[in-house]
Structure 1
């Protein structure tokens, strides 16, 4: 049986091996991913790939709790990260109240919040009150409207300095690891070297401490668009469509069910 990772083993991985993180939103896929993934992220990306919305912003805390419980039920030996959705950590009191709700109502191992230096006081408040926190810096999906879209970070010297300051602030506030998204590869590498906790990349090059992808992207199930940083390891949508078309064809032709499928 796979040994579940802990905050201690995740921290130690920085000097040992790259961490593997993948998203999941239900028990079925979480169980399939469990043996390969060190960490499973119940991302608010479910609002797009699972709920069909245009962005993550309308994901609710109740949604995240529901899906986190499902993932934990399917992957009992995985370290599970619950995304704190937009609007649930605008101040320290709200953040702690909502994070406590996640911890009380799910077996999640930690919560993830977006933001760097500007959110360090909130991260500190959570970690000081028994809430384990995974940070998220760089491109912040929950801030895409205020930033005028999804923009790659680390293109200037000022942005590089800002990202390093963000990482150090989150580490100092008590985050045991962090995601870095949509950042120039050379800058992401410098950010990872600037802190002692693992920095897990998505669209941030190979020279960080691990990688995370949205499962529906990497399995080719989400057809609307494919980000540049995604590698499709399976043409899932085509395989599923072909299988369902084959089933439908056999039903219409009365070729299914056959005798071996009949009581």
Structure 2
């Protein structure tokens, strides 16, 4: 066994080196901007609620985009069935399949090192009951490697949430406007307006919390109601069109980056005009090809 050398005293007249400063514990714990390189877990999410820390979540559907968000410190990435609208060319989230979610979730997991990756259970993957939900959620955990799954519905989905959580699969719930119900809603209306609707939304949020969900998305909910729900729960709320008082906020990344064509929902803030930038780059490339400027000598082998 190697013998450790005794600590040497500084020579006479010499100044002892200052002791190393301890790492900032808060920066290690923080979800956004944290220094830990390990995967974010649902325990970290719970601790953030206790600290009163707000955190961001974005959707992701491929390894390259996910790696950018991961490197930017986004702590939670959602492989949402929103891929139907913004990635796969469907008119809604309804046609998205388990195969599609699984393939793209695996890509996002491969593209990340720190973010907690949450995958949606698509329409038809859990409505039959808890056993169906467990079978499909297990596939996402085993085959794609995600750290949690998300499903829509409050009281109506509580039994599914309970079985998944008791089986070791963390669940993010989703209440308020649930896009998989677009045909029942006849569109995407704000939910929870009026006393009866507000009380139902509160019951839905508490039902998934009691079933074991580690967080709950509140979509298209009046800000005052979302604030009340957030105060009433011990699990974090993730707002999308639900005001400032939620514990976290999520956006579909193509909306956030200005890649989505046409009108975007009122709750979207565009931080970039990516569609315009990408289109400009494509046109510049095309003009260089047509004009004979590309490939130039520096792009050519001899």
Cα distance in structure 1, aligned partners of 2:243 and 2:50: 18
Give runs of aligned pairs for residues 32-47 of structure 1, distance below 5 A.
Answer: 32-34=68-70, 35-47=72-84
Length-normalised TM-score, structure 1: 0.97
Q: What residue is the counterpart of 1:5 in the other structure? A: 40
CA–CA distance in structure 1, aligned partners of residues 241 and 50 of structure 2? 21
Deviation at residue 43 of structure 1 after TM alignment: 0.3
SS in 2 for 1:136: strand
Say if 2:102 is the partner of 1:55: no
SS of 2:185's equivalent?
coil
Structure of larger gyration radius: 2
Aligned alpha-carbon RMSD (Å): 1.1
Counterpart of 1:29 in structure 2 is 65
Q: 1:36: how far off?
A: 2.7
- In the other structure, the counterpart of 2:228 is 190
Alignment of 1:240 onto 2:258: no
Aligned to 2:112: 75
Deviation at 1:225, TM superposition (A): 2.5
Q: How does 1:159-238 map to 2 (within 5 A)?
A: 159-238=197-276
Q: Which runs of 4+ in 1 moved over 4 A?
A: none
Partner of 1:145: 183
Larger relative contact order (Cα-Cα within 8 Å, sequence gap ≥ 6):
1
Q: How far does the alpha carbon of each residue in 1:2-27 deviate from its partner, in whole angstroms, 9 at most, with x for none?
A: 44311111011113311210000000
> Is contact 2:37-2:113 (8 Å) kept?
no
Q: What's the offset of the Cα at 1:62?
A: 0.5
Q: What per-residue deviation string (whole Å, max 9, x for no partner) do you get for residues 50-104 of structure 1? A: 1111000000001000000000011122100000000000111111111111111
Residue 197 (structure 1) shift: 0.5
3-state DSSP of counterpart to 1:21: strand
> Which residue of structure 1 lines up, in the alignment, with residue 121 of structure 2?
84
Question: Matched residues in 2 for 1:224 and 1:11: separation?
Answer: 37
- Structure 1, unmatched stretches of 5+, are none
Q: Determine helix, strand or coil for the equivalent of 1:144.
A: helix
Tell me which residue corresponds to 1:93: 131
* Count of residues in Structure 1 that have an aligned counterpart in Structure 2: 263
Structure 2: where are the runs of 5+ without partners? Answer: 1-35
- CA separation in 1, counterparts of 2:58 and 2:239? 11
* Aligned equivalents of 2:262, 2:84: Cα separation in 1: 14
